[in-house]
Amino acid sequence: MKVKKFNTAGPVNKVNHYKLDPLTRWDLNVINDLIDDEKYFLLHAPRQSGKTSCLLALRDKINAEDDYICVYVNIEAARGAKNNIEDGIYGILSAIEKRVIRLTKKEDEINAILDKIIKRGTFNSAIVDFLEKLTEFFDKPFVLLIDEIDSLHGDLIISVLSQLRSGYDDRGEYFPSSIMLTGVLDIKDYHLLNIGPKHITGGSCFNIKSESLTIGNFTREEIEQLYLEHTKETGQVFKDEVFDSVYDYTDGQPWLVNALAYEVCFEMKENNDRSITITKPMIKKAKKRLILSGQTHLDQLSDKLQQERVRNVIQPMIEGKNVDLDEQDIIYCRDMGLIKQVRGTYVVANKIYQEVIPRELTVSLQRRFYIEYPKPTWVNKDQSINIESLMNLFVEFWRQNSDVWKDDVSGYTEVAPHLIFQGFLQRVGNGHGEIDREYSLGAGRVDVYLEWDSPIGEQRVIFELKMHTEHNYLPTIKKEALKQTAKYADQCNATESHLLIFDRRENIDWKDKIFTELKNENGYEIKVWGM
């Protein structure tokens, strides 16, 4: 008997994968109304969030009923054509042809229709011609679902959109009665693909915002429902705390939800014994393993961080700066699933991404940090961590290398101190402790949390990071930062609290930068480190 698994690659396969009903992930009544009203509309959502699974389920539902015939087509293969309209259009036509033949089983008739159109050599109208002929060929109104539309760029996507638009007034009788375009971006943001607004507005059948749909993340309840499919299949039980923990780590991002479950249930071999109950500590371990595994989804995240639009948003976010950002950069990062809006500000989309981003930006640095193993000076005899010793080590390292290494953070030079410290701490914590971070636009600070387990108990150490520049006053920085540090210490129930102030002023001697102070704020003892 074939065992189902959690899906981490491509559309859900109902035979091989645990799944939620894809049709429950959007408002099906709205979709039905749009199709019945012969609308052309859009679905946009981040990559690996379930768009294709939803489209395939919608296609199957429509074709199981009597009102329409529905064709799904993925046109990503035409991406390689770039601005070559002839190659790109030919690739799209071939993709449509294959799907129609699969649906109708009438290969000779469909081949003959397309061959006649291709022989004309008029590729700027070939899609229109083929869709017109298919509409005549079908005995029901024709619904077309086009996936990965924004994988096309430049002249090619302009030609495709223009051809679809040109048939809009013939829809129903001579052209598809309804078309859904699907991609990462909303069509109103296609100028991010270097398409001028004039090409997609002014009479476009796709420019009505109310007809642009999206797919949200899983809710906590949907995570539980998905995981319980595994329980039904294998008998393996999840403690209730697991569902809350997964939602906390992932914010319901579908790929991450599935990947954590796959890791804990299948990749962690000790849990292949289905009598073992899956617990919160196991999910925590699975999260670490997943982050270190470099799987495609997270690897793609690393690539996105090098894009200028992404760097424009993420760099001030890491520093906690309150800056005015280009709205188009924010839209791009949001549509890519990298950020979300919370209480009027933007934050990284989930805790796993929040950890992956600094880790990926300092991956080369972490390899070069010299960390003593197996008997480091910053670990006490009782295996607790000695933060005083560790911080002295970092201050000396920072003094010797800050100017040399500030350009070795993947283009994020403005936040080099934050990234280098987090990379240093990550190197320390790998396999021994848990590192957590909080940063967002306008926060004015970066919070870093180190959780260290030892035989004498759990240590919860917080670090607040601040910058001293030409434009701010050190006593003011300290006063504000001490309040923030105490608040964060209270939030985390910290056993130890530290405030790091990086002096980024020009032409200041190191003897004037480096200092330590012990302060008390709201009942919390806070060690201040100037460097």
141-166 confidence digits (pLDDT tens): 999 999 999 888 888 988 998 899 88
Section 203-231 average pLDDT: 79
The yes-or-no answer to whether 22-214 and 220-293 have a common fold is: no
Confidence of residue 196 (pLDDT cuts 50, 70, 90): very low
% residues pLDDT > 90 (the chain): 56
Strand order in the sheet with 142-147: 69-74, 142-147, 178-183, 40-44, 212-214
β pairing state of 178-183 and 433-438: unpaired
Q: Is the pLDDT of residue 399 over 90?
A: no
Given a cut of 90, is residue 194 above it in pLDDT?
A: no
- Residues facing residue 238 across a β-bridge: 278
Task: Count the Cβ atoms, other than its own, within 10 Å of residue 239.
Answer: 15
Alpha helices in 26-172 (DSSP H): 28-36, 51-64, 85-104, 107-120, 123-137, 154-166
The better pLDDT of the pair 342, 110 is held by 110
Domain edges within the chain: 22-214, 220-293, 329-530
Distance CA 238, CA 243 (A): 8
Q: Is the full-model pTM beyond 0.85?
A: yes
Within 10 A of 492 (CB to CB), how many other CB atoms are there?
17
How high is the mean pLDDT of the chain? 88
* Fold of the domain spanning 22-214: Rossmann fold (3.40.50)
- By mean pLDDT, which of 126-135, 442-451, 478-487 is the weakest? 442-451
Res. 192: pLDDT tops 60? no
| The two three-digit tokens of residue 482, written as one number | 């001490």
Say which CATH architecture domain 220-293 belongs to.
Answer: Orthogonal Bundle (1.10)
What are the phi and psi torsion angles at 493 (to 5°)?
A: 55, 50
Is pLDDT at 1 greater than 80 in this prediction?
no
